[in-house]
Amino acid sequence: MAKHSIFDFQSPDADLKDDVLRSRLFEILRKYASGPVISTELEDGKSCLFIFVGENGGHWILRSFSTGLITLDVMQYGKEEILSKDTLKSIEKEICKVLSAEKSLHLPPINRGAKVNTYYPTVDDLLIQYDFDRLEFETNSPYQNIKILHSQQFGNILILDDDINLAESDFIYTKTITGSGREVFKDKTILILGGGDGGILNELLQCSPEFVTMIDEDVINCAIKYLRGICGNALDNLSGEHHKVHIGDCVKYLEQCIEEGRTFDYVINDLTAIPVTKEPIGSLWEFLRLILDMSMKVLSPSGKYFTQGNSYNKPDALLMYEQQLTKLSCPVQFRKEDVFVPSYHEKWVFYEIWKTNESTLS
């Protein structure tokens, strides 16, 4: 495994073309690496780049920029840590002193080539390092890659196509997508689209519903074994007195319900988040609109539709979604709620939607 440590130094007056300054910097680096094996001035005439060879195949890259920024990238390679955290901190202090740097920054090392990837971005591309210590399960379905990784903080986490989906710690997600305790599900009929982790089903079955129907294809079998903290025992039996889980296509099931004239008091859509695009076009938006429109057709006149939105930090995507709500086959109103989902490391927006006039529904 390789460890990539990053240092930034701000030193507007430092010139790495100066022989004395350069010699003092090289003296520090040569305690840990040999070289430089490459030394060059860059095209702007104000920037320099030096590459040193470290121990066990690692390398060090020292680079100056015309803006006064000086960067040092240290790549360590090997099973054992060569440079400790304290050693790296000492190197930072030594270089700061030589450069008379105004300020410096040392980021924790990025681990590269590990057996278990621990890095996943937020929706707006902020890099999060998780404390994953093992891969519990992985498979490729006809539709997506499915992984379940174990986190010491969050328990097992479901990851679909390298997107953090839900952790055993994320009870707030399930609570919010089912109305945050505002709804009375007793003696109600409910349709869950997706939700293969079993969290929504588990929550609803504790509320004495008349009947819950759930449609999903991919995740159910692995959830039964690896996501007990989410599904409880709700998926142990795929059918019971008050619920039935269909392994199949949501669109086909909705088409069947529309044809038969079946309606539900609640429809909870946990299929996918709102797409993050510049315009509301493309296959993802087409699927979103299809599910929305079909869901309205199977929702009773006084029913409620719940769904996830996307990150609080993506207001443009949320606005585009809200604009789609004005184009449905029936007029609707909505409210939204944002909560912090622990394993997402960001606030997430959820929607509650209801009809305002049933007469225009085809």
Give the integer Cα–Cα distance in Å for 25 and 32. 12
Task: Tell me whether strands 189-194 and 211-216 are parallel, antiparallel or unpaired.
Answer: parallel
C-alpha distance from residue 96 to each of 100, 106, 150, 356 (Å): 6, 11, 39, 65
Neighbouring-strand partners of residue 192: 214, 268
* 143-350-183-250 Cα dihedral, nearest 10 degrees: -20
Structural tokens at position 263: 């309606």
- Of 304, 298, 300, 276, which Cα lies nearest the Cα of 288? 276
Neighbouring-strand partners of residue 69: 10
The pair phi, psi for residue 305, each rounded to 5°, is -120, 125
The pair phi, psi for residue 21, each rounded to 5°, is -65, -45
CB of 136 closer than 8 Å to CB of 149? yes
Task: Tell me whether strands 69-77 and 103-112 are parallel, antiparallel or unpaired.
Answer: unpaired
Q: Tell me whether residue 270 is one of the annotated catalytic residues.
A: yes
CB of 82 closer than 8 Å to CB of 58? yes
Determine which one of 86, 131, 270, 316 is catalytic. Answer: 270
Give the integer Cα–Cα distance in Å for 201 and 233. 10
Task: Tell me whether strands 346-355 and 332-341 are parallel, antiparallel or unpaired.
Answer: antiparallel
Show which residues are catalytic: 270
